[in-house]
Amino acid sequence: MRPIGLILACTLAAFAGADNTFFLRNADVYPVTAPEMKGVNVLVQDGKIAEIGAKLVAPKGVRVIEAKGLRVYPGMIDSGTELGLSEVPAERVTVDTGEIGEFMPQLKALIAVNPDSEHFPVVRVNGITSVMTYPSSGGRGGGRGGGGAQQFIAGQAALIHTEGWTWEEMAIDRSAAMHLIFPTLGRTGGRGNFDSAMLEMIPGATGGTFTAAKRSYDQQVTKITEFFDKARQYQKERAVKGPGFKTDLKLEAMMPVLEGKTPLAVSAARASVIHDAIQFAEKQKVKIVILQPRDVLKAAPELKEKNIPVILGRVLALPDQEDSAYDESFTEPAAAFKAGVKFAFGTFNNEFVRNLPYQAATAVAFGLPPEEALKAVTINPAEIWGHGKEIGSVEKGKWADLMVTNGDPLEVQTQMKYLFIKGKEISLQNKQTKLWERYLSRQ
Amino acid sequence: MKRLLLTAVAAMAPLCAETYVIQNATVMTVAKGTIKNASIVVKDGKITEVGTQVTVPPGAKIIDATNQFVTPGIIDCHSHIAGDGGINEGSTSVSSMVDIKDIVNPEDIGIYRALAGGVTTANILHGSANSIGGKTVALKMRWGKDAEGMIFEGATPGIKFALGENPKRAGNPTGGNVNATPARYPATRMGVEDVIREAFNDAKAYKAEWDAYEAAKAKGEQVISPRRDLQMEALKEVLEGKRYVHVHSYRADEILMMIRIADENGFKVRTFQHVLEGYKVAKEIAAHGAGASTFSDWWSYKVEAFDAIPYNAALMTKKGVVVSINSDDAEQMRHLNLEAGKAMKYGGLNEEEALALVTLNPAKQLGIQDRVGSIEVGKDADLVIYDKMPLSAYAKVQKVLIDGTVYFDRDNEISSRAAKEAEKQKLIDKEKDVRATPPASAPRRPQQ
């Protein structure tokens, strides 16, 4: 330990003034991927975690932050948001999530992220340092009043930090997933409804209605298959680049998916639809992540067997059916964990992103081991989105996305003391704290 | 489906109130501090004793609450559950003649879910489509009783008013409802103010007519009564202080506007609901004597919610307003304890102040604080037992008592699930059999 510290001290002299280099002294570090370390020091250099250790010495000239009695955790990751794309859902002009067109893989969420969105500072102060932001809700711009047009491939979701001067600086992964909205059996809409659930329980129950619904569903699945076939054909032609070959931006955007580099993030609620989505992905030899499953328990054996991760939606949600258990959504994460499914949490509404930790805590109240809840908002999403080597835990070599708190980060009364994204200290002020201070002083 | 539910209801319908002693709990009374290792005696539906030393009445059932917490029942000052689907009589800008009390659906599963989240009383409001909406009713979550059995007996009834985007959008041809013909007045905040002012102008004239009649009658004169106008009647009650006004509001300007109209017409706003910019005019709200019932941290879903801050509850509390945190939502309603806990994080309220936001304060706002809202001798035994500190994100409800009767018990809920599931499966199987077997009278196809 000591020799490393000494060498670091020498190399660090040059960085002493950098705003992404600092030394946390005497902190309780919760790496998530390893047992907690009490009373240790953390050296952050150039935005990355350079060293963690009890005997580590602060290099000369480096900012020292006394962290006695404080806890250090990795920043949290929300795997389901529209941050930067949607400001005020009721006002279409402020929403850029839902484009027109059934297959739009060439669209990139990242380039429409507004770094100055008021939402970023609001979610940051609760410890959310990175998020997945998705294009979705087809047609009419999205938001409330959007979602009119049917859409299958909405575009590329980005994994971003919640801080940066530009979307380029915010990007962790410009194209972390391709968002596919799998068709729904029965009525439209990602969340299940009485009809489709009953239909699945009683095959043929409603005769003509079911047949019609099934036919329409099959047609839509065929449409998706045909699009993938077209992309595969293009892939072959692209390899040869024969006379007359012309780049097709839409199909070009599908190449990383076909090559297995970018996963498909598939919105699928019902067990049968999840099954179909898995079958589809196997046939197409592409990686998938299931978003917001409602029947995660029914689908669990297959999800586990095929090693398919899921992004669970809000834990604080109403039960699916009138006669579902009142605590269905509260207990689902614990049950998914017991079934061996790998999962992360998403809030799927910008307003709820800052409540990500309390969603996770509710899952703990209803049986999820606390360490698993923490993983589901840190290392699990980092790994699911292919960036487990850069974010999601407090480990040497990773980005210093750190929250320094006075307690358990999933507990509602816990206060954020410091927040760092890529080693840069983030102001804990936002529009809301400023309004609070301003009007508190009104006489 | 319905059959299934009814069976479930019958199985769960609680018996009459028994005598209970809840023992060894941390009792958060809200009115008189938090007592550790305390017991509560519940008899004939009321709290008869609270403290570390209580007399156990003969025959009392003991509820061991070691390591658990007891709070007063949660009160939600703004909900639309049990509203039978339609809660917006938005066809007219003044719908003071309609009443939520007439459409209470006691079988709404939202009632049971709220109960399982510790809610014992809820104020059920009309929607916000019009400047002056319909009448409101307070319910107790007595799951299994009929509509009348749910009504909080003796509670002062209310009426919903609405300001801002919702009432102006409903009729504005350039707003949400482009097909509205003719456009329903108003379409601006100016118009909303005028609608309310005009309505009270009429109501005062109506009241004067009735007052004159009553005075003449009292003198023994032979007079014919004025015509009863049900639309005006509710506003007359407001002027007489017999009906509470709950005002859906967002922006500071409209809140102030409403206070001034009320001042001018001689009535009080009982509560501002949502009141997301209440923190900007907390001084004026406090001076008027209105309560404020807000969300914990919802914001940004529309423009008038863009200046909402999670510090709203704490800031208004510090400025002397009686504040509650409400749900306006069947899901949020299930964890109002957690929502109250946020006022400790955002704005630094202490435990008792935070818990009061969902117990004693909404009770005060609804004028039922003599009956509910705190754990005190003589009050209704509306109690919630939690496994952890109730303002924690990790807390969950174990038992809920209303009027001294256990209406929710998590252990029973869990242990009865297998039986309910089996019953459901039996019904599904029966349905399958019926469909698989063709009716006896139907001509059979030739078998191959």
On whether both B272 and B406 belong to a single domain, the answer is no
Query: Stretch B362-381: mean pLDDT, rounded?
Result: 98
Half-sphere exposure of residue B207, counting CA atoms within 13 Å on the CB side?
17
On whether both B240 and B202 belong to a single domain, the answer is yes
On whether both B349 and B365 belong to a single domain, the answer is yes
Closest Cβ opposite residue A362 in set B344, B391, B393:
B393
On whether both B383 and B317 belong to a single domain, the answer is no
Q: For residue A345, give the nearest of A295, A385, A380 by alpha carbon.
A: A380
Task: For residues B107 and B417, give the distance between their C-alpha atoms in angstroms, rounded to a whole number.
Answer: 19
Q: What pLDDT, on a 0 to 100 scale, did the predictor assign at position B2? A: 42
Q: Give B299's contacts in chain A (Cβ within 8 Å).
A: 122, 351, 432
Kindly identify which residue of chain B lies nearest to residue A330, measuring between CA atoms.
B396
Q: Give A405's contacts in chain B (Cβ within 8 Å).
A: none
Q: Note which residues in 270-289 of chain B have CB less than 8 A from chain A.
A: 279-280, 282-283
For the ranges B6-15, B18-27, B118-127, B362-371, the lowest mean pLDDT is seen at B6-15
Which CATH number characterizes residue A356's domain?
Answer: 3.20.20.140
For the ranges A5-9, A217-221, A358-362, B205-209, the lowest mean pLDDT is seen at A5-9
Q: What pLDDT, on a 0 to 100 scale, did the predictor assign at position B346? A: 97
Beta-bridge mates of residue A178: A156, A264
Q: State the pLDDT confidence band at B432, using cuts at 50, 70 and 90.
A: confident
Cβ neighbors of A151 (< 8 A, separation 6 or more) are A98, A99, A101, A102, A104, A136, A137, A138, A139, A181
CB contact under 8 A, B435 and A202: yes
Which CATH number characterizes residue B206's domain?
Answer: 3.20.20.140
Indicate whether A204 pLDDT > 70: no
Query: Stretch B236-262: mean pLDDT, rounded?
Result: 98
Q: What pLDDT, on a 0 to 100 scale, did the predictor assign at position B11? A: 43
Q: What pLDDT, on a 0 to 100 scale, did the predictor assign at position B439? A: 56
pLDDT in tens, B37-70: 999 999 999 999 999 999 999 999 999 999 999 9
For residue B53, being part of any structural domain is answered with yes
Q: Give B342's contacts in chain A (Cβ within 8 Å).
A: 412
- Whole-complex ipTM: 0.91
Q: What pLDDT, on a 0 to 100 scale, did the predictor assign at position B1? A: 40
For the ranges A128-142, B66-80, B264-278, B285-299, the lowest mean pLDDT is seen at A128-142
Count: domains in chain B = 2
On whether both B62 and B162 belong to a single domain, the answer is no
Task: For residues A169 and A171, give the distance between their C-alpha atoms in angstroms, rounded to a whole number.
Answer: 6
On whether both B115 and B67 belong to a single domain, the answer is no
Query: Stretch A387-396: mean pLDDT, rounded?
Result: 98
State which residues form the domain around A233.
Answer: 76-391
On whether both A45 and A153 belong to a single domain, the answer is no
Q: Is B428 on the interface with A (CB under 8 A)?
A: yes
Contact B357, B311 (CB under 8 A): no
On whether both B201 and B347 belong to a single domain, the answer is yes
Q: Note which residues in 370-409 of chain B have CB less than 8 A from chain A.
A: 388, 391-396
Among A371, A391, A411, which residue terminates a domain?
A: A391
Count: domains in chain A = 2
Indicate whether A117 pLDDT > 60: yes
How many Å lie between the alpha carbon of A353 and the closest alpha carbon of chain B?
A: 11
Tokens for B292?
Answer: 């404020």
On whether both A362 and A411 belong to a single domain, the answer is no
Query: Stretch B136-148: mean pLDDT, rounded?
Result: 97
Among A412, A415, A432, A436, the strongest candidate for a mutation testing the B interface, having the largest count of B CBs within 10 A, is A412
Indicate whether A200 pLDDT > 60: no
Q: What pLDDT, on a 0 to 100 scale, did the predictor assign at position A138? A: 60
Q: Give B341's contacts in chain A (Cβ within 8 Å).
A: 412-413
State which residues form the domain around B271.
Answer: 74-370
pLDDT in tens, A68-100: 999 999 999 999 999 999 999 988 899 999 899
On whether both B140 and B247 belong to a single domain, the answer is yes
Q: Give A317's contacts in chain B (Cβ within 8 Å).
A: 331
On whether both B15 and B99 belong to a single domain, the answer is no
3 state SS of B425: helix
Q: Residue A395 region, left (φ>0) first, then alpha (ψ -120 to 50), else beta? A: beta
Query: Stretch B63-88: mean pLDDT, rounded?
Result: 94
Q: What pLDDT, on a 0 to 100 scale, did the predictor assign at position B433? A: 77
On whether both A348 and A431 belong to a single domain, the answer is no
Among A391, A408, A431, which residue terminates a domain?
A: A391
On whether both A92 and A33 belong to a single domain, the answer is no
On whether both B139 and B240 belong to a single domain, the answer is yes
Q: Give B346's contacts in chain A (Cβ within 8 Å).
A: 436
For residue B63, being part of any structural domain is answered with yes
On whether both B183 and B306 belong to a single domain, the answer is yes
Query: Stretch B306-328: mean pLDDT, rounded?
Result: 98
Cβ neighbors of A74 (< 8 A, separation 6 or more) are A31, A32, A129, A378, A379, A391, A392, A393, A394, A398, A401, A402, A403
On whether both A136 and A16 belong to a single domain, the answer is no
pLDDT in tens, A270-318: 999 999 999 999 999 999 999 999 889 999 999 999 999 999 999 999 9
What letter does residue B66 receive in the DSSP assignment?
T
On whether both B176 and B209 belong to a single domain, the answer is yes
Q: Give B1's contacts in chain A (Cβ within 8 Å).
A: 322-323
Indicate whether A422 pLDDT > 80: yes
Among B297, B413, B431, the strongest candidate for a mutation testing the A interface, having the largest count of A CBs within 10 A, is B297
Q: What pLDDT, on a 0 to 100 scale, did the predictor assign at position B184? A: 85
Query: Stretch A110-120: mean pLDDT, rounded?
Result: 98
Indicate whether A239 pLDDT > 50: yes
Kindly identify which residue of chain A lies nearest to residue B414, measuring between CA atoms.
A325
Tokens for A29?
Answer: 């570090």
Question: Which stretches within A38-148 are classed as H helix?
Answer: 119-124
Indicate whether A110 pLDDT > 90: yes
Q: Note which residues in 182-221 of chain B have CB less than 8 A from chain A.
A: none
For residue B189, being part of any structural domain is answered with yes
Q: State the pLDDT confidence band at A199, using cuts at 50, 70 and 90.
A: very low
Q: What pLDDT, on a 0 to 100 scale, did the predictor assign at position A197? A: 43
Among A413, A417, A437, the strongest candidate for a mutation testing the B interface, having the largest count of B CBs within 10 A, is A413
How many Å lie between the alpha carbon of B321 and the closest alpha carbon of chain A?
A: 13
User: Mean pLDDT score of chain B, rounded to an integer?
Assistant: 92
Closest Cβ opposite residue B309 in set A318, A355, A432:
A432
User: Mean pLDDT score of chain A, rounded to an integer?
Assistant: 90
How many Å lie between the alpha carbon of B313 and the closest alpha carbon of chain A?
A: 11
Query: Stretch B419-447: mean pLDDT, rounded?
Result: 74
Q: For residue B406, give the nearest of B10, B1, B13, B8 by alpha carbon.
A: B13
On whether both A52 and A94 belong to a single domain, the answer is no
Q: What pLDDT, on a 0 to 100 scale, did the predictor assign at position B238? A: 98
Which CATH number characterizes residue B406's domain?
Answer: 2.30.40.10
Q: What pLDDT, on a 0 to 100 scale, did the predictor assign at position A5? A: 44
Among A391, A414, A429, which residue terminates a domain?
A: A391
